[in-house]
Amino acid sequence: MVIKEYYSLSEVAEVLGKSKETLRRWDRDGKLDAVREPISNYRVYRKKDINSLIEPLLTEIDNNIDNTEIPLKDYKVLELFAGAGGLAIGLEQSGIKCVTLNEVDKWACRTLRENRPNWNVLEGDIKEFDFTEYKNQVEIVTGGFPCQAFSYAGKKLGLEDARGTLFYEFSRVVKEVNPLICVGENVKGLLSHDKGKTLEGMISILDEIGYNVVPVQVLKAINFKVPQKRERLILVGIRKDIDVEYEYPTRYNIIYNLSDALKKGKLYDTDVPKSEGSKYPEHKKKILDLVPPRGYWRDLPHAIQKEYMGKSFYLGGGKTGMARRIGWDEPSLTLTCSPAQKQTERCHPDETRPFTVREYARIQTFPDDWKFAGSISQQYKQIGNAVPCNLGKELGYSIIKFLNDVYLKSNKSDSSISFAKAI
């Protein structure tokens, strides 16, 4: 069997952005027929059948989409776990003013201060800060809190059960500040973390402190002008005295690829600036030299596959991130904090090397003038952990639309909650 003519279940799920269960259902319904690989009996798919589906999937989306919203007044955000500023940049680009940002990493704080001297950056552990001075002074609180399991003693699933976790701190700040809307972001894995109990606990906590949680969504960055297959879970809480619905941003039709990220064109006015970057060890470089653009470990000679993959060679699954060379005509796989480590290779299409710092930043849609502090490894870490700026901007537009609706409604009615009082 010629490997490039057939793709595994995992590979097709990644390419089409669909779950494995959806693909199995499509197979049963005759929408995308699978065949069985004769040796392993695994479900595989013909390349021509996959290609025939891609165009219809794209045309399902409206071609005339523009999420842009103009703020009717100055809206302010307090951001927690701010990192290197990916989300903050996006919110700023949408028209939201960043009042204060908290971050514990000193290099990320230096990055924020160097690029935005006017931002108030609170450096240090969130536990050490009191945010009551911002009560009713900002409309939005955001934060990319880490995913941690809770203690379920007492089965309350409330704020006290979350003590010692960073979501507790996020919720504490929301309670202290009393914003109209709070937005948390996390990895997609939060959906299944501790069999869904962690997310359940988070929703329960926000309910306890006075916020209704909008149905959680996982946003795919490639649908929001980001040339990268990155997914972020978004958790939105609306203060219970606000009778206005929040709507997630509408995804765009166009999908940007690596060429759009690194070359002059639709996303950027110039080619990517030159910069420093990591290198592969010589042994890995010799192996990746053999991998074509859009290829990965399965494109290596059989003997080298077994040597490089080790025990993983005999396990199921596509493992498409291993020995992976990105093609110019596809979005990048999700960037990690360490570009040269095994299992998460993101090799340049033409040169056998990891992406440079500025290439990394482009794929995350940072502006070219955004400088990163610290060593090369620190810079990669900051960029790899960031929310893509363009995704942040589209989220910002959706928040502005919500706040505009609140503002208009408060001015049209004699409701007990006026907008001025609410903030």
Which positions are annotated as active-site residues? Answer: 147
Judged on CB neighbours under 10 Å (0-12, 13-18, 19+), 5 is exposed
Q: Which of 191-205, 280-294, 363-377 has the highest mean pLDDT?
A: 363-377
The answer to whether residue 140 scores a pLDDT higher than 50 is: yes
More confident residue, 403 or 420: 403
Q: How large is the average pLDDT for residues 334-346?
A: 83
Encode pLDDT of 289-301 as tens digits. Answer: 999 999 988 889 9
pLDDT band at residue 410 using 50, 70 and 90 as cut-offs: confident
- Supply the angle between the helices 9-16 and 47-59 in degrees, to the nearest 10: 20
Whole-angstrom distance, CA of residue 48 vs CA of residue 6: 9
Domain limits, the chain: 1-60, 76-255+388-422
The whole-number average pLDDT for the span 346-364 is 97
Helix or strand (DSSP H, E) at 171: helix 166-177
**What distance in Å separates the CA atoms of residue 339 and residue 346, rounded to the nearest whole number?**
7
CATH architecture assignment, domain 1-60: Orthogonal Bundle (1.10)
> What is the per-residue burial (b if ≥16 Cβ within 10 Å, else e) of 95-122?
bbbbbbbbbbbebbbbbbbebbeebebb
The model's pTM is: 0.83
Q: What is the mean pLDDT of residues 50-76?
A: 75
pLDDT > 80? residue 265: yes
pLDDT, mean of residues 351-370: 97
- Name the CA dihedral angle for 90, 92, 98, 101, rounded to a multiple of 10 degrees: 30
What does the pLDDT average to over 23-39? 73
395 touches 315 (CB < 8 A): no
What average pLDDT does the chain have? Answer: 87
**Tens digit of each residue's pLDDT (9 = 90 or more) over 320-329:** 778 899 999 9
Give the least confident one: 179-193, 295-309, 314-328.
314-328
Query: Which value, to the nearest 10 degrees, does the dihedral of the CA atoms of residues 400, 402, 404, 410 take?
Result: -150
Q: Which residue has the higher pLDDT, 127 or 149?
A: 127
Structure confidence at residue 127 (pLDDT): 94
Answer whether residue 417 shows pLDDT above 60. Answer: no
pLDDT band at 311 (very low <50, low <70, confident <90, very high): confident
Q: Do domains 1-60 and 76-255+388-422 have the same CATH topology?
A: no
Q: Residue 357 corresponds to which tokens in the numbers above?
A: 């710092």
Rg (CA), the chain: 23
**From CA 234, how far away is CA 186, in angstroms rounded?**
7
Backbone angles phi, psi at 81, to 5 degrees: 50, 50
Q: Rounded to an integer, what distance in angstroms lies between the CA atom of residue 147 and that of residue 157?
A: 15
pLDDT at 30 over 60: yes
Task: Look at residue 1 in the predicted model and tell me its pLDDT.
Answer: 31
Task: List 237's β-bridge partners, or say none.
Answer: 182, 213
Average pLDDT over residues 125-140: 96
- CB-based burial label for 182 (10 Å; 0-12, 13-18, 19+): buried
CATH topology of domain 76-255+388-422: Rossmann fold (3.40.50)
Mean pLDDT of the region 214-228: 95
